[in-house]
Amino acid sequence: MGILNATPDSFWEGSRAETVEKGLARALELEEEGADILDIGGESTRPGAAYVDAAEEESRIVPLIREIRKVSGIPISVDTRKSSVMRAALDAGADILNDVSALEDDEDMASLAAAADIPVILMHKRGIPVSMQENPVYNDVVAEVADWLVARARFAEEAGVARGRIVLDPGIGFGKRYEDNVALIAGVGELASRGYPVLMALSRKSCIGRMTGSDAADRLAGTLAADIVAVMRGASMIRVHDVRAARDTLAVLQEIEKSGIH
C-alpha cells in the first residue's frame, strides 16, 4: 500500500501532495514502483495534528481520486473517519475504507461500508492526534490492542461488513509509548492469530527513528527492517512511503523463504 497524503502537514514532507497535479504525478509514480493499493488521506493524523472539517478533507481528496480514475484502475483506499467524505470518495471511484477510528468516530460509517460492500481497515488508536501521546498506559499492549480490534471487527460484522473484508491495523504510534510500539511489532503474530489479515504501517515512524537515531528523511533502512520482521511474523499488508524499496525487500525475503532454509 503506497501512501499519498493530500495534506500540507503530514509528518514526512516526501509524502505530501498539496495540489491535484502533484498528487496525480505521485500516484502514477507509486503505481509504477509496484504499489498494489494507493492509500489517500486528506487529514493528517500525526501526533499533535488537529482534525479538519469534512468539507476541507473532501476538497483535498475527491478531485485527486477523480483524476487518478481517468488514467488508472489501481485500487484506492481512503484514510478517513467521516462517512460523508467516504461516500464522496466512493462516488469518485475509491474502493477501500481505511478508518483510523475503527468505525467509532462516525455512527454512519459502518452501515455505509456494509452497503457498499467494500474492504474495511480498522485501526487501533487511543485518544485523538492532538493529545494521544500524553501518557498512554497499557498493562499488556499486544493483548489489549488485539482484543479491542477483534471487538471492533465483530461490531463491523454485526453492521453487515463481511468478515472476509476486514483488515486489522494495530496503529503503531497512535497513543502508544515507544516500548508499546516495539512490542506490537514483535507481537504481530498474536494479532494475526485472531483470524483477520493484519496491516502494519511502520514507514518512517518515530519509533523507527528512536531505534536508529535518524530523522524521518533517513529512516528507510530501519523501516525496511521492521517491515521484514512484521511480514515474517504474520502481517499480510504493509503501508509504505517507499514502494519500490519495500517490494525489492520483500521479493528477496520471498525468494529466500522458498528455499526451505529456516
pLDDT in the model for residue 46 = 63
> How far apart are the C-alpha atoms of 121 and 198, rounded to whole Å?
9
Q: Which triple of cell numbers denotes residue 122?
A: 480498522
Mean pLDDT of the chain: 92
pLDDT in the model for residue 124 = 96
Please indicate, yes or no, if residue 202 is contained in any of the structural domains. no
Q: Tell me which residue range forms the domain holding 17.
A: 2-195
20-27 contacts at long range (C-beta below 8 A, 24 or more positions apart):
20/63, 20/64, 20/67, 23/64, 23/67, 23/68, 24/64, 24/67, 24/68, 24/71, 27/64, 27/68, 27/72, 27/74
pLDDT in the model for residue 35 = 98
Q: Categorize the per-residue pLDDT at 103 as very low, low, confident or very high, splitting at 50, 70 and 90.
A: very high
pLDDT in the model for residue 171 = 96
Please report, for the domain that includes residue 98, its CATH number: 3.20.20.20
Percentage of residues of the chain with pLDDT beyond 70: 90
Which positions are annotated as active-site residues?
205, 239
State yes or no: pLDDT of 3 exceeds 70: yes
Please indicate, yes or no, if residue 218 is contained in any of the structural domains. no
Q: Categorize the per-residue pLDDT at 135 as very low, low, confident or very high, splitting at 50, 70 and 90.
A: low
pLDDT in the model for residue 261 = 58
- pTM for the model stands at 0.92
State yes or no: pLDDT of 129 exceeds 70: no
Number of domains observed in the structure of the chain: 1
**Quick one: three-class SS letters along the chain?**
CEEEECCCCCCCHHHECCCHHHHHHHHHHHHHHCCCCEEEECCCCCCCCCCCCHHHHHHHHHHHHHHHHHHCCCCEEEECCCHHHHHHHHHHCCCEEEECCCCCCCCCHHHHHHHHCCCEEEECCCCCCCCCCCCCCCCCHHHHHHHHHHHHHHHHHHCCCCHHHEEEECCCCCCCCHHHHHHHHHCHHHHHCCCCCEEECCCCCHHHHHHHCCCHHHCHHHHHHHHHHHHHCCCCEECECCHHHHHHHHHHHHHHHHCCCC
| Residues 223-231, mean pLDDT to the nearest whole number | 97
Please indicate, yes or no, if residue 245 is contained in any of the structural domains. no
Please indicate, yes or no, if residue 52 is contained in any of the structural domains. yes
Please indicate, yes or no, if residue 149 is contained in any of the structural domains. yes
Please indicate, yes or no, if residue 217 is contained in any of the structural domains. no
pLDDT in tens, 73-100: 999 999 999 999 999 999 999 999 999 9
Please indicate, yes or no, if residue 229 is contained in any of the structural domains. no
State yes or no: pLDDT of 262 exceeds 70: no
**Cβ atoms of 210 and 182 closer than 8 Å:** no
| Residues 131-152, mean pLDDT to the nearest whole number | 86
Please indicate, yes or no, if residue 64 is contained in any of the structural domains. yes
